[in-house]
């Protein structure tokens, strides 16, 4: 349920740079933006550099980012980059990505291969933040090209000739190389039908203008290909769909819109918000499978500002379109400013306001895997039993019995989310200490002391544990005295 360290670090890195830079510059009043941008960048550099070094982030990525900041090349809302240095893009990549990038760049230059960097990495290059994954489009046979690159780099490749797609699997990275394609949706919410096509068609099928740009791999600083106004939307910090039925064709794009909006500190345009609301009201969310919705939740849970995204999704009525009970954002707000959050924390925050029946329905609607379903269910159970756990004279043994068998992640998340200090403290204490407590005496000890083999051994061990948890016995001698007392009580 937790993202691999590389992705968590990247998410934090992107967050730092985007907030430190775009946020600071964008918040400056228009007339002082240009003169202040440099100062803001310098302080952002200092804060960012220390933080990034602390995170152990790829030094190339840091140097690349700082280089962009120091030459004033970072796109501000007033000056989006239209020419992107390919060396700088390469400088922000991990080892495996660089190898693929350079191989494709060489081939594009030497053979005139029409291959382009597309989508997210172009958006991120314009913004001056390191890319997450690399996506390339080829006007031609992408699986064949990917196979050649993989052979050159002695790495693995997974090809799908029928779909014209390939994934180069190199070191810890997976790089997509796909044939430029056109998509059409046979019915709203269905998966698209695809056919090979031009770069223009390939960009036109994308979700948002900021993700519909391409970068040729020839020359030192090629010009961004931007047929849909992505650069100007970046300048205006706007998330805009490519056409007004975009969300009806693929309702999962509603989650994507919110994810980019909150990650980048942008705003979804008013037209796009209207389209989103219309799509929800028309019930298109119902046609999306649970697996597809769940994957969107999963992507959000992997973002460093996930709680904001979920709050926004609730505010727009999107989560209620997935299930009507997902409409209370108060528990999510408690997660603001918390670090090291995992999927279970967000699931628990969503689960707290739910009834057990709603929880079951949400689990089924999203086809949750067993571990997520357990977090949801046990968080709701914990809400129900919270008065028992936080009562003033509740014994530790009673708390432990009530919590026995409940999911640790649900307990940890409920402790984090609780507004009731006694409840939170007891849950945390349970996980840290009480759950680990065992009697000193074992079953063998009891049998040696004359306890007959059978269920009585287990019962006495439980009684010993309760007594130990409640502070009634402190050492082995005390435990033996209690066992003798129980034996004589039973005889
Ligand atoms: P991230 O930074 O989160 O990786 P990304 O933009 O690279 O963002 P991906 O999910 O990897 O996002 O998708 C790659 C590209 O494919 C996007 O930039 C977008 O152009 C396109 N895309 C992805 N999902 C959709 C979709 N549902 N509809 C249309 N285009 C999409």
Asked whether 73 and 126 are in contact (CB, 8 A), the reply is no
User: Is the minimum distance from the CB of 298 to ligand 1 under 6 angstroms?
Assistant: no
Query: At residue 353, does pLDDT exceed 70?
Result: yes
User: Is the minimum distance from the CB of 211 to ligand 1 under 6 angstroms?
Assistant: yes
Q: What angle do CA 275, 249, 160 make, to 5 degrees?
A: 140
Query: At residue 398, does pLDDT exceed 80?
Result: yes
Index of the ligand 1 atom closest to the CA of residue 252? 27
Confidence tier at 51 by pLDDT (50, 70, 90):
very low
- Predicted local confidence at residue 352, as pLDDT: 98
Higher-confidence residue of 7 and 468: namely 468
Index of the ligand 1 atom closest to the CA of residue 14? 2
User: Is the minimum distance from the CB of 263 to ligand 1 under 6 angstroms?
Assistant: no
Q: How remote is the CA of residue 228 from the centroid of ligand 1, in Å?
A: 16
Confidence tier at 425 by pLDDT (50, 70, 90):
very high
- Predicted local confidence at residue 191, as pLDDT: 79
- Predicted local confidence at residue 447, as pLDDT: 92
Q: Which of 8, 18, 120, 191 is the pocket-test mutation for ligand 1 (most atoms within 8 Å of CB)?
A: 120
* pLDDT above 70 coverage of the chain, percent: 83
- Predicted local confidence at residue 196, as pLDDT: 85
- Predicted local confidence at residue 489, as pLDDT: 81
For the residues 428-441, what does the mean pLDDT come to? 96
User: Is the minimum distance from the CB of 207 to ligand 1 under 6 angstroms?
Assistant: yes
Q: How remote is the CA of residue 120 from the centroid of ligand 1, in Å?
A: 6
Question: Mean pLDDT for the chain?
Answer: 86
User: Is the minimum distance from the CB of 202 to ligand 1 under 6 angstroms?
Assistant: no
Index of the ligand 1 atom closest to the CA of residue 259? 3
Residue nearest to atom 12 of ligand 1 (CA): 120
For the residues 79-103, what does the mean pLDDT come to? 91
Residue nearest to atom 6 of ligand 1 (CA): 120
The span from the first CA to the last CA of the chain, in angstroms, equals 52
Query: At residue 457, does pLDDT exceed 80?
Result: yes
Phi, psi for residue 74 in degrees, rounded to 5? -60, 130
User: Is the minimum distance from the CB of 246 to ligand 1 under 6 angstroms?
Assistant: no
What are the angstrom distances between the C-alpha of 409 and each of 2, 377, 386, 412, 420?
12, 11, 16, 5, 18
User: Is the minimum distance from the CB of 133 to ligand 1 under 6 angstroms?
Assistant: yes
User: Is the minimum distance from the CB of 252 to ligand 1 under 6 angstroms?
Assistant: yes
Residue nearest to atom 17 of ligand 1 (CA): 119
- Predicted local confidence at residue 52, as pLDDT: 40
- Predicted local confidence at residue 452, as pLDDT: 85
User: Is the minimum distance from the CB of 479 to ligand 1 under 6 angstroms?
Assistant: no
Any idea where the domains of the chain sit in the sequence?
Answer: 5-70, 86-229, 323-436, 443-488
Using DSSP bridges, classify how beta strands 267-268 and 238-239 pair: parallel, antiparallel or unpaired: parallel
- Predicted local confidence at residue 78, as pLDDT: 58
pLDDT tens digits for 168-207? 999 989 999 999 999 888 887 777 888 889 999 999 999 9
Query: What string of DSSP letters covers 293-357?
Result: HHHHHHHHHTSTTHHHHHHHHHHTTHHHHH-TT----HHHHTTTT--S--HHHHHHHHHTT--HH
Query: At residue 480, does pLDDT exceed 60?
Result: yes
Cα 446 versus chain centre, distance? 50
User: Is the minimum distance from the CB of 275 to ligand 1 under 6 angstroms?
Assistant: no
Asked whether 94 and 172 are in contact (CB, 8 A), the reply is yes
Helices (H) and strands (E) in the chain, counts: 26, 10
The CATH number corresponding to 86-229 among 3.40.50.450, 3.40.50.300, 3.30.460.10, 2.40.128.20 equals 3.30.460.10
pLDDT tens digits for 286-336? 999 999 999 999 999 999 999 999 999 999 999 999 999 999 999 999 999
Using DSSP bridges, classify how beta strands 165-170 and 156-160 pair: parallel, antiparallel or unpaired: antiparallel
Q: How remote is the CA of residue 485 from the centroid of ligand 1, in Å?
A: 69
Query: At residue 57, does pLDDT exceed 70?
Result: no
Task: Give the burial class of 317: count Cβ atoms within 10 A of its Cβ; 0-12 exposed, 13-18 middle, 19 or more buried.
Answer: middle
Query: At residue 76, does pLDDT exceed 60?
Result: no
Confidence tier at 162 by pLDDT (50, 70, 90):
confident
Q: Which of 14, 130, 190, 206 is the pocket-test mutation for ligand 1 (most atoms within 8 Å of CB)?
A: 206
User: Is the minimum distance from the CB of 230 to ligand 1 under 6 angstroms?
Assistant: no
What 3-state class would DSSP assign to 392? Answer: coil
Query: At residue 49, does pLDDT exceed 50?
Result: no
Least-confidence region, from 199-213, 221-235, 262-276, 447-461: 447-461
Higher-confidence residue of 32 and 74: namely 74
Phi, psi for residue 174 in degrees, rounded to 5? -125, 125
Q: Which of 207, 208, 305 is the pocket-test mutation for ligand 1 (most atoms within 8 Å of CB)?
A: 207
Higher-confidence residue of 318 and 75: namely 318
User: Which of 371, 362, 376, 378 is closest to 290 using CA atoms?
Assistant: 362
User: Is the minimum distance from the CB of 253 to ligand 1 under 6 angstroms?
Assistant: yes
Higher-confidence residue of 152 and 57: namely 152
- Predicted local confidence at residue 187, as pLDDT: 84
Q: How remote is the CA of residue 300 from the centroid of ligand 1, in Å?
A: 13
Residue nearest to atom 5 of ligand 1 (CA): 120
Index of the ligand 1 atom closest to the CA of residue 260? 3
Least-confidence region, from 325-334, 380-389, 472-481: 472-481
Query: At residue 265, does pLDDT exceed 90?
Result: yes
User: Is the minimum distance from the CB of 251 to ligand 1 under 6 angstroms?
Assistant: no
- Predicted local confidence at residue 204, as pLDDT: 96
Query: At residue 119, does pLDDT exceed 90?
Result: yes
* pLDDT above 90 coverage of the chain, percent: 73
Query: At residue 39, does pLDDT exceed 80?
Result: no
């Amino acid at each position: 349920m937790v993202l691999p360290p590389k992705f968590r670090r990247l998410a934090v890195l992107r967050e730092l740079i985007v907030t430190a830079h775009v946020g600071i510059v964008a918040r400056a009043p228009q007339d002082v933006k240009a003169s202040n941008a440099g100062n803001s960048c310098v302080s952002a550099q200092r804060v960012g550099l220390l933080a990034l070094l602390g995170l152990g982030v790829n030094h190339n990525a840091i140097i690349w980012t700082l280089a962009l900041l120091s030459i004033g090349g970072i796109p501000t809302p007033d000056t989006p980059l239209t020419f992107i240095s390919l060396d700088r893009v390469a400088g922000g990549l991990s080892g495996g990505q660089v190898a693929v990038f350079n191989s494709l760049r060489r081939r594009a230059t030497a053979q005139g291969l029409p291959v382009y960097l597309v989508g997210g990495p172009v958006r991120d290059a314009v913004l001056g933040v390191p890319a997450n994954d690399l996506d390339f489009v080829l006007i031609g046979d992408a699986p064949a090209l990917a196979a050649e690159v993989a052979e050159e780099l002695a790495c693995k490749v997974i090809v799908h000739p029928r779909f014209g797609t390939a994934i180069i699997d190199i070191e810890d990275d997976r790089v997509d190389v796909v044939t430029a394609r056109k998509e059409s949706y046979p019915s709203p919410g269905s998966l698209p039908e695809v056919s090979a096509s031009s770069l223009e068609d390939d960009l036109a099928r994308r979700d948002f203008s900021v993700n519909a740009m391409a970068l040729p791999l020839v020359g030192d600083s090629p010009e961004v290909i931007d047929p849909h106004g992505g650069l100007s939307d970046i300048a205006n910090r706007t998330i805009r769909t490519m056409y007004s039925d975009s969300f009806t064709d693929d309702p999962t794009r509603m989650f994507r819109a919110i994810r980019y909006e909150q990650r980048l500190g942008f705003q979804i345009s008013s037209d796009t918000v209207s389209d989103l609301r219309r799509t929800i009201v028309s019930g298109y969310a119902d046609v999306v499978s649970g697996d597809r919705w769940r994957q969107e939740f999963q992507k959000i849970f992997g973002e460093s500002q996930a709680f904001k995204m979920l709050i926004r999704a609730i505010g727009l009525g999107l989560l209620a379109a997935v299930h009507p009970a997902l409409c209370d954002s108060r528990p999510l707000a408690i997660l603001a400013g918390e670090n090291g959050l995992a999927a279970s924390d967000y699931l628990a925050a969503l689960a707290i306001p739910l009834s057990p029946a709603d929880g079951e329905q949400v689990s089924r609607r999203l086809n949750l895997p067993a571990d997520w379903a357990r977090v949801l269910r046990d968080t709701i159970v914990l809400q129900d039993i919270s008065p028992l756990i936080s009562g003033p004279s509740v014994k530790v043994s009673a708390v432990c019995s009530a919590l026995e068998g409940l999911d640790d992640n649900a307990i940890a998340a409920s402790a984090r989310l609780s507004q009731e200090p006694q409840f939170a403290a007891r849950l945390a204490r349970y996980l840290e200490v009480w759950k680990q407590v065992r009697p000193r005496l074992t079953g063998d000890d009891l049998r040696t002391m004359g306890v007959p083999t059978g269920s009585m051994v287990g019962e006495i061990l439980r009684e010993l544990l309760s007594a130990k948890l409640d502070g009634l016995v402190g050492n082995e001698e005390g435990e033996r005295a209690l066992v003798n007392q129980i034996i004589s009580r039973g005889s």
